[in-house]
Structure 1
Amino acid sequence: MSPTFKSDTVAAPRATAEAQWVEAELVRTLMSTVRSTKLTSMLLVPLYLALLWGETRTVPLALWAVVAILVLGARAQVAHHYVQYFSGAAPQRLLAFYGRVRLLWAASAAVWGATVWLFFDTASLASQFIAWLLLAGIAMFAVNGLASHLQTVRLYVNVLVGFALGWVAWWAVVELRLQGPYYHFWLMALLVLFWQVLHQAAQRLHRTHRRNFELQYRNIQLISSLTRQTQAALDAVEIKNRFLASATHDIRQPVHALGLYADWLANEPELVRELAPKIVESTKAINTLFDSLFDLVRLDSGKIRLQIEDISMTQLFSELEVQYRPVALAKGLEFRMRPASGMVRSDLLLLKRLVGNLVSNAIKYTERGGVLVAVRHRAGKPCIEVWDTGVGIAPVHQRDIFREFYKVPIHAGTEDGFGLGLYIVGRLSHILGHPVELASRVGRGTMFRVLLKPTDADEAASRASTAIDQLARRP
C-alpha cells in the first residue's frame, strides 16, 4: 500500500487536477448547449425584425440585424471549431481555447440588450410587451444553457440586463428629465429584481452542474484506485505463478538425470559403485536448485543478500557436468565440456543457474549433433560459451527470447516449457553484471557467450533493487 502523505505539496496538485478537470467538463457542457441552440438564436433575429419593422427607425434596426447575424455567426464558427479540434482535448488545452473566445457571449448579450434602444417608447405598447417577453425568454434561456460555466453566465446576464436597464434609466432620467410615466420607474425596479432572480437561478444551476462533475471525477478516481489495487492483487498471484513455473522448469533436469541413474542401476546392479556417487550428486543438485529457486524468490522480494565470492571454474563445470551430461546422453547427443583453471568473482548459485539454463536450452532444442560448454578468453577476461547444433534462432526472435514466457514459434519443444529459461538468464545476467551475447543461424545452431566480468557486491545489490522496482511497476 502506498504511504499516505499529509503535506500540502502532495494534496495541492491533486486538488488542482480535479478543479481543472471539472472546469473543463463544465465548458464541454456549455459548448454542447451552444451547438444545440444556435439555430434557435438565428431565428430570433428575423422575429425581431418582423416585430419592429415599421415601428422603429429602419436604419438602426437594419444595422442591429447585421451586427446580430455577425455575432451569432461568429459563435457558430467557434462551436464548429470546438467540435473539430477541442471536443476531446485535454483540460488545459480546452480551457485555454475557451478563454480566448469567452467574450463572444458578452457580445451576444450586448446585441440582445441593445434591442431595448430600438423598441422602448418608440414601438407600440403591444410590440413593446412582446419584445420584453422575448428579451426575458432569451435571458432565462441563456441562464439555463450557460449556467454550467458560472463566469460566463454572470457576464451574459450582467451585460444583457445592464444594457436594458441602462437605456431605460437614460431615457427616463436624461431624455425625459423624470417627467415620463411612472411605469418607467416600476420597469427599472422590475429589471433590478429580474437581474437578481437570474443570478440566483444561475448560481443554483451551476452548483448542481459542478457537484455532478466533482462526484463524477471522484468516482473515476475511486474506480482507478480499485483497478490498481485489483491489479496489484493479480500481480501477486502472477509472481506466485512465475515462481511455480520457474521451479517446474529448473527442477525437471536434475530429476530427469536422477531417474536415468536409477534406471541404469535397476538394469545393471553391478554398476552400483559407479552410479551411487552420481545419484548422490544429482540429489545434491536437486537440493541446490531448490535453494536457488527460493533464493530467487527472496531476491524478487528484496530479502536476499548476494553471496559474491571467488568461484572455482573447475568446480562450476564439474557440477554442471553431473547435472546435464546424462540428459544429453539420453537424447543421443554428444556432450563436451572444456573447463579451464582459474577463479571468477560472482555468486556460485546464481551463476550456475544462469549457465545451467543455457545448457538446458541447448540440449532441449538439439536433436542431433551435440553440445559444447567451454571457457574462452576475450580481452583478457574469461567467458563461458555454450554451443549447440540445434534448430537455431531467427534474427526476428533474438531480441524477444529473453522476455518472460516468450516461446519461439514453430520450435520443437516449446510446447512443454514455460518460456522462463532465458528470461531467468537475462535477469541474472543483469544482476551479476555478466553480459550475455548471442550468435545463431537457423538450422545450424546457436552460441551463447557469458562474459564473466567480476561482480561487484554493492553494484549487484543496486541492480537487484532496481529490477525489483521495475517488476513492481510493471502493468
Structure 2
Amino acid sequence: MTGAGPDPISAEAIRTLYRQVPNSFAAALVVTVFMAFTAWPYSQPVAVIGWLVVQGLSQVLRLVLFLAYRRRNPAEGELAVWAGLYTAYMALAGIIWGATIFLFVHPAEPITLALTLCGLYGISAGSVPGNAYNLPGCYAFVGTIFAVVLVRMVMLGDFGHVVLGLASALFAVIMILFGRVQNRTLRDGFAIRFENVQLLAEARAAQGRAEAASLAKSQFLAAASHDLRQPLYALSLFSGSLTSIALDADGKALVGRIQDNIAAMETLFNGLLDLSRLDAGAVTTDVQPFAVQPLFDRLERIFAPAARAQSLTLSFAPTRAWALGDAVLSEQILMNLVANALRYTPVGGVAVGVRRRDAGLEFQVADTGRGIAAEDQARIFDEFVQLGNVERDRSKGLGLGLAIAARTARLMDSRITLASRPGKGSRFGFCLPRAVAVPGGVAGQVGGEKPVQAIRVLVIDDDEAIRHALGLLFQQWQVACVLTADVAAARGALSDGGFDAVLCDHRLREGHAGLDFLLELKAEGRGGLCLVTGDVDPQVIRRAHEAGVFLVQKPVDPARLRALLNHLTAVTA
C-alpha cells in the first residue's frame, strides 16, 4: 500500500541513492581490506576474521536490499519506506565499523589507535557524497561510528584519549555538516533539472530561460565538486602530518600504506569526477591558436621527477609549432597519455613530440613498454580496464586515464590513435589543425629555487579544517606562513610584509572570488600566485590560464604541495 509519497526532488534523491549503491561496494572493500591488513599483526586472528565475516554479511545484506529495490521498482509513494530501510542499514553498518575501535585498538600499541582511526575517518568521509542523497543515512552511519569511538575513548579514561574522542566526535559533526551542504547542492541541482524539463516542454519561446538553467546546472556541478574535494583535501594534509610522529620502522611503513590508500582515493575521485563532467556535457571547448612548446615545457617539469624515480628517460622534442584547439584540454590529454606511458614502461623511456600531418599536427607519445595486443587495443579506452593487472594493483593506476583522454579528444573533434605491438612498445596520438604563430607568444623564464624553509607563504581559504591542516604541515616543514580566511585579512597580512607564494582558494566568504583577488595582486606586480581550488568550472580554469595565474585542483597531497611551493618560488626568483 502506498501513501502520498515524498516530493519530486526527494523522490529523485532516493532513486539516485539506490542507483549509486554499486559504487559503494568498491570503497567498502578497499577500507575493509585496509582495516584487516593493518589490524592483523596486532590483534587476535579470531577477532579480525570474525569482523571480516560480519562485515561480509553486512555487504550481502546491502546487496539484497539493492536487488530487492530494483526488482520492486517502487512507485513514488513507496520511496520513503525504501529510504528508511537504507537508513536502518547504514545504522547497522555504523555499528559494525565502529566495533573496530574495540576489536583492533590496543592501548599498549598506540599505532593501532592511529591506524584504526585513519580507517574510520576514511570510510566516514568517503560515505558523505553517497549518503548526501539521504541525510538520515548520513546521520545514522557517521554518528553511530563516532558515538562508539567516543564511548571507547571515555572508557580508556585518561585525558589524552578523552580529548581524542571529543575531537573525533567533532570530526563527525564536520562530516555531517558537509553532508548537509552537499544535500542542499544536490537538491538545487535536481530542482534545476526539473525546471529545465518544464521549460523545454513549454515552448521555443522559453529557450533563453532554459539556457540560464543549463548554466546553473554547470555551476551546480562546479559547486558540488568544490564541496566534495574540501574534506578529501583536508584528510590528505592531515595524513601528511602523520610523518612527524615518532614511529618505529613498521609504524612508518604502515603510515606509508595509509598515505598510498588516500592517494588512491584521490585518484579515483578525480577520475570519476572528470568522467562525470564529460558525460554531463559540463566541459566546453575554447578553440584558439596556442604554442606547443610551452605546453611541452610544463609537462616536462611535471613528469621529469617520476621518470627519474623509475630510471626512465623522458624526452620532449623541441618544436616551434602552433596548434588550433583548446590548450587546457590538449594538456589534459597529454598528461593522461604520458602518465599512462610511464606507468607501463619498466625499462627504456618515453618520447613526446609533434609531427606535421597534411594540414594538421599529430601529438605523439611513444614508449618502450610491454605493448598491447591487437584484440585489446579497443577496450583499453573503456573505464577501469587495465591489462596485466588482474590483481588491481593501485600503483598501476585505476584504468580511467585513457577513457578520459579519449572522451576529451572527441570534444575537439579528434580521436586517440594507437599503434602497438606486444614487446615493442606503444605510440598514442591525436591530431589538431595547424595554426599560424601569434606574435608575442613566448615562454616565461624560470629562475633558481629557494629552499622551502626560507620562504614565506600566505594562505587564503575559508575552510577551517584546511587552514589547520596546512598550518601543521608548514610547521613541520619550517615554512613561515600566515593563514587567513578572507580577502580582508589577506590584505592586512600583505600590508605587513612580502610573501614568496600566495595560495588562494576560489570560493571565499562574502561572495569574493579568489581568482579576482589574485588578478588584483598580479596587477600590483606580485608573483608566486596560485589558485588552489576544488572548483571545476571551465570558465574559471580558462580565465586563470589566460591570465597566467598558476592553478592546481584540490585535493593536493603533501608531496605535490611541496613541489608546488618550489615551482612558485623558482618562477619568481
Q: TM-score, normalised by structure 1?
A: 0.39
Query: What's the TM-score, normalizing by structure 2?
Result: 0.33
Instruction: Point out the structure with the larger helix share.
Output: 1
